[in-house]
C-alpha cells in the first residue's frame, strides 16, 4: 500500500507530508493513523525540535475523504467516530511541545483548512486558497473551525466564510490574519524549511510554554492568565536555554540553545 504520510528527517526538525496527491490529500482512516503516528514519533525524538507539515502534489489537503463517509443504503456513516479522529489530531497538534510550521502548498479545504489553522505558523503559496467547504455538503466547520476562525479573523468574516464556503486566496488570508504569510509559489518550501530550521535552533521549551499560555488565554481571565504566565515563566527560567540566552546576550554572541531541560 502506498505511504499516506511521508516523513523526512532534517537537522533538528521533521517534514511530515500528506501523501494522497490523486485525492488532493483527502484524509482517510489510514492516513489519520499514520499522521498521528508520525507526530508521536517526532515528539519522542529528543533531536526533533520543530515540525513542518505540507502536502504532496498540487493540494495541501481537501479535508475528509468523502468517498469514505458517503451515505449508504444502510444509513449515514458514524460521523461522531470520524470526528473523534480529527479531534485527536487537532488536540495533538496544539499540545506538541515544539513549534509546528504548516506550508500550505495548494488548496486547503474543509478539515484540511482547519488542520492548517491548528498549526503554530502557517505559510501559504500565493496560488493556494482556503475553503471552509463544509457548507457545500451540509456540514458545519469542524476540526476547531468554529473556534479558530472568529479568533483569527473576527466574527463577521468567520461567519461569512463558514456560511458562504468561498475560497480565500493566500494573500487575503494573510491580510486578514488567518495565516502568517503568503509566499511566492517557487519560494514556499525554501521559506518553510528555513523557518523550521530556525525554530529548531530556538529555545524549544520556552516556545512550548508560550503555546500553552496562548491556548489557556482563550478562556482565562486576565487575572488567571497573569498567574499562569508567572508560573510558566518560572518554568522557562529554570531551563538551561534561559541561562544560555542571558549569558549570550551579555557576552554579545549568538545563543546556542539545546531545547533540553
Interface residue list for ligand T3D (CB under 6 A): 23-24, 26, 62-67, 69, 79, 82-83, 107, 109-111, 131, 133-134, 136-137, 139, 142
Q: Tell me, what DSSP letter sits at residue 57?
A: T
Q: Which is nearer to ligand T3D, 53 or 196 (CB)?
A: 53
- Give the Cα-Cα-Cα angle 151, 39, 9 (nearest 5 degrees): 115
Q: Which is nearer to ligand T3D, 158 or 208 (CB)?
A: 158
Q: Which is nearer to ligand T3D, 96 or 128 (CB)?
A: 128
Shortest distance, position 126 Cβ to ligand T3D, whole Å: 16
Beta strands in 39-156 (DSSP E): 50-55, 59-61, 100-104, 107-109, 121-125, 129-131
Q: What are phi and psi of 245, to 5 degrees?
A: -60, -45
Shortest distance, position 259 Cβ to ligand T3D, whole Å: 34
Q: Which is nearer to ligand T3D, 60 or 242 (CB)?
A: 60
Give the neighbor-by-neighbor strand order of the sheet with 5-10.
Answer: 5-10, 13-18, 50-55, 100-104, 121-125, 181-183
Shortest distance, position 99 Cβ to ligand T3D, whole Å: 25
Q: Which is nearer to ligand T3D, 64 or 202 (CB)?
A: 64
User: Residues 6 or more apart from 48 whose CB is under 8 A from it?
Assistant: 9, 12, 13, 14, 42, 98, 200
Shortest distance, position 71 Cβ to ligand T3D, whole Å: 10
C-alpha cell at 160: 461569512
Shortest distance, position 115 Cβ to ligand T3D, whole Å: 9
Amino acid at each position: 500500500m502506498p505511504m499516506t504520510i511521508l516523513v523526512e528527517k532534517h537537522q533538528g526538525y521533521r517534514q511530515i507530508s500528506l501523501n494522497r496527491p490523486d485525492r488532493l490529500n483527502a484524509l482517510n482512516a489510514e492516513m489519520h493513523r499514520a499522521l498521528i503516528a508520525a507526530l508521536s514519533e517526532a515528539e519522542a525524538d529528543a533531536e526533533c525540535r520543530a515540525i513542518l507539515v505540507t502536502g504532496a502534489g498540487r493540494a495541501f489537503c481537501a479535508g475528509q475523504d468523502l468517498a469514505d463517509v458517503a451515505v449508504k443504503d444502510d444509513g449515514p456513516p458514524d460521523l461522531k467516530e470520524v470526528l473523534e479522529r480529527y479531534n485527536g489530531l487537532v488536540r495533538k497538534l496544539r499540545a506538541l511541545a515544539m513549534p509546528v510550521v504548516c506550508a500550505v502548498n495548494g488548496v486547503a479545504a474543509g478539515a484540511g483548512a482547519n488542520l492548517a489553522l491548528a498549526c503554530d505558523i502557517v505559510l501559504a503559496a500565493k496560488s493556494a486558497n482556503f475553503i471552509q467547504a463544509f457548507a457545500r455538503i451540509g456540514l458545519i466547520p469542524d476540526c476547531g473551525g468554529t473556534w479558530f476562525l472568529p479568533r483569527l479573523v473576527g466574527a463577521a468574516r468567520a461567519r461569512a466564510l463558514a456560511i458562504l464556503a468561498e475560497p480565500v486566496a493566500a494573500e487575503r488570508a494573510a491580510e486578514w490574519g488567518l495565516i502568517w504569510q503568503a509566499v511566492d509559489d517557487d519560494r514556499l518550501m525554501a521559506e518553510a524549511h528555513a523557518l523550521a530550521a530556525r525554530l529548531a535552533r530556538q529555545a524549544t521549551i520556552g516556545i512550548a510554554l508560550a503555546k500553552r499560555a496562548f491556548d489557556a488565554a482563550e478562556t482565562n481571565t486576565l487575572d488567571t492568565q497573569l498567574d499562569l504566565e508567572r508560573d510558566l515563566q518560572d518554568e522557562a527560567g529554570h531551563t538551561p536555554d534561559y541561562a544560555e540566552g542571558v549569558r549570550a546576550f551579555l557576552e554579545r554572541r549568538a545563543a546556542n540553545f539545546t531545547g533540553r531541560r
